[in-house]
Amino acid sequence: MMELPIGPTYLEINLDTIASNTNNIKRLIGNKELMAVVKGNAYTHDMIEVSKTVLKNGASRLGVGRLEEGIYLRKAGITAPILNMCLNMEGQEREIVKYDIAQTVCDLDTVHRLSCEAAKMNKSAKIHVKIDTGMGRIGIFPEDALNFISEVSAMQNIEIEGVYTHFATPHDKEFMSYQLKLFSSVLKRLNQEGYSIPLKHCASSEAFVAMPDTWEKFDMVRIGDLIYGVYNSEEEKDKIKVNFAQTFKTTIVFLKKLGPNTSIGYDRTYITDKDTIIATLPAGYNDGYTKLYSNNGIVLVRGKKAPVVGRVCADQMMIDVTNIQDAKVGDEVVLWGRQGNETVLPVYDYIFMGDKQRVPKVFIKNNKPWKVKSIFGEKVF
C-alpha cells in the first residue's frame, strides 16, 4: 500500500469524542429523533467519517446545507434520511428526488417542480416546510403557513415529512419564547385542520440547552455544535458534557534568539522589548490559521501557552517561546485543541477556516490513529 506522507501541519479528528458527544446528547433526548448537522464538511471534521460515526451512536438523520453535500453522502453509501436545510436552485429537483434528499421549502413554485419531477420518476419528493418566526432569513410567515400547506398537500407525489423553524437569538429567552409561541400556534392550527406531519422540530444546539420546551414537545432536535464539542455559553457546560473533537497541530521548524528592538514579520507589527526566543512554525492562513490571530493568538508548546507574534503569513507564523524551557525544533505545537492539561479553543467561526486541501486529517478511533486523508488519498493504519 502506498505510504501517505503527513506534513508537519495537520488536523487530528477524534471520532471517539464525536461518538461520546452524540451518545450524551441522545441519552438526554430519549426517544426523540436526533438529526446530526454535518454541513460544511461536518464543521471541517469530514462529512463521511462523522456521518458514519454519529449514525452508529444515536443519530437517525443528517442535516446538510447544500444539495451537493447530500449527494456526496449518498454516493459514499450513506442511506440514512438527509435534510437539505437550505433552499435548492431551480433545476436541481431531479437530483433531489433521485438521491432521496428531503428538501426545505417555502415557495409553491419549488414544490410544484418537485411534484412534476417526482411524478416522472414514479417517486415521492420529501419536503420540510420552513416557518419564519423571527429569523428573517428563509421561510413562510406563520399567518401564511396553513394556506401554504393546504396547497402543497393537494400536489401529487409530495410527502410533507416535516415542519420547522429556527431561533434567531438563543441567548435571548424572551424572544425565543416569542418564536416558540408563534411556531406552536402554527402547529395547533395544522392539527385543528387535520394535518398530521411526522416531524415537528425547532431546537438547534443552543436552543436545545437553553430552553427544553423547544424540543421536549416536538419530534426531533437538530444538533451541530455540540456534536463537535463546541459550547456557545457557560450554561451549556453545566447542562451537558461534550468535548472538543478537533486538534490542529504543527511543529517547530526553526528557533532563533533575538535581542530587544527587533521586528518580527511583515510590516513590523511586533517589536521585541527584551531578549526573545522566536519559534517559526510551518503553518499559516493557507492552512486555515487566520491572519486575525496575528499578535493575539495563543498556542500550546510542551503543555504551556505561547503567544503568536507578528503577522501570520501564508505558510508560516512565529511564536514567542522565551518562557518555555527546553523548547526545541521538532516540538509539537497545538494551534487549537488540547495538549497536556491545557486547552486552547478557536473563535467559533475560525473552525471553518481549517478545512484546507493541503492539510491532512488524521482520524482517531479506539484511542489510536486509525485513518489519514490527505491530497495523496486515504490510508487506514
Average confidence (pLDDT) over 72-94: 97
DSSP letters spanning 198-264: SEEEEE-HHHHHH-THHHHTSSEEEESGGGGT--SSHHHHHH------EEEEEE--EEEEE-SS-EE
**Length of the chain in terms of residues written:** 381
Question: Which residues lie below 8 Å from residue 239, measured CB to CB, with a gap of 6+?
Answer: 209
Q: Give residue 3's pLDDT.
A: 56
Q: Give residue 40's pLDDT.
A: 96
Residue 266 is among the residues annotated as catalytic for this protein = yes
Question: Quick check: 164 and 137 in contact, CB under 8 A?
Answer: no
Determine which one of 173, 241, 266, 328 is catalytic: 266
Digit-coded pLDDT (tens) for 307-357: 999 999 999 999 999 999 999 999 999 999 999 999 999 998 898 887 999
Q: The C-alpha cell of 254 is what?
A: 526553526
Residue 39 is among the residues annotated as catalytic for this protein = yes
Q: Give residue 239's pLDDT.
A: 87
> How open is the CA angle 202-224-188, to the nearest 5 degrees?
5
Q: Give dist(CA 296, CA 315) in Å, integer.
A: 18
Examine the pLDDT at 5 and tell me if it is beyond 80: no
Q: What percent of the chain has pLDDT over 70?
A: 99
Taking the CB of residue 134, how many other CB atoms lie within 10 A of it? 20
Torsion of the alpha carbons at 318, 324, 330 and 336, rounded to the nearest 10 = -60
Residue in this structure with the C-alpha cell 437530483, named with its chain if needed: 95
If you average pLDDT over every residue of the chain, what do you get? 96
Examine the pLDDT at 166 and tell me if it is beyond 60: yes
Q: The C-alpha cell of 46 is what?
A: 469530514
Digit-coded pLDDT (tens) for 237-251: 888 999 999 999 999
Residue type, 263: S
Digit-coded pLDDT (tens) for 40-59: 999 999 999 999 999 999 99
Taking the CB of residue 90, how many other CB atoms lie within 10 A of it? 9
* b/e sequence 177-193, b meaning 16+ C-beta within 10 Å: ebbbebbbebbeebeee
Q: Give residue 362's pLDDT.
A: 96
Helix pair 108-120, 145-153: axis angle to 10 deg: 20
Q: Give residue 58's pLDDT.
A: 98
Examine the pLDDT at 232 and tell me if it is beyond 90: no
Burial class, 260, CB count within 10 angstroms (exposed 0-12 / middle 13-18 / buried 19+) = exposed
Digit-coded pLDDT (tens) for 193-219: 999 999 999 999 999 999 999 999 999
Digit-coded pLDDT (tens) for 242-285: 999 999 999 999 999 999 999 999 999 999 999 999 999 999 99
Q: Is 358 annotated as a binding residue?
A: no
Question: Quick check: 52 and 46 in contact, CB under 8 A?
Answer: no
Domains of the chain: 15-228 (3.20.20.10), 246-344 (2.40.37.10)
DSSP letters spanning 161-212: EEEE---S-TT-HHHHHHHHHHHHHHHHHHHHTT---SEEEEE-HHHHHH-T
Question: Quick check: 336 and 344 in contact, CB under 8 A?
Answer: yes
Q: Give residue 235's pLDDT.
A: 78
Q: Cα–chain-centroid distance for residue 79?
A: 20
Q: Cα–chain-centroid distance for residue 29?
A: 20
Determine which one of 39, 126, 200, 373 is catalytic: 39
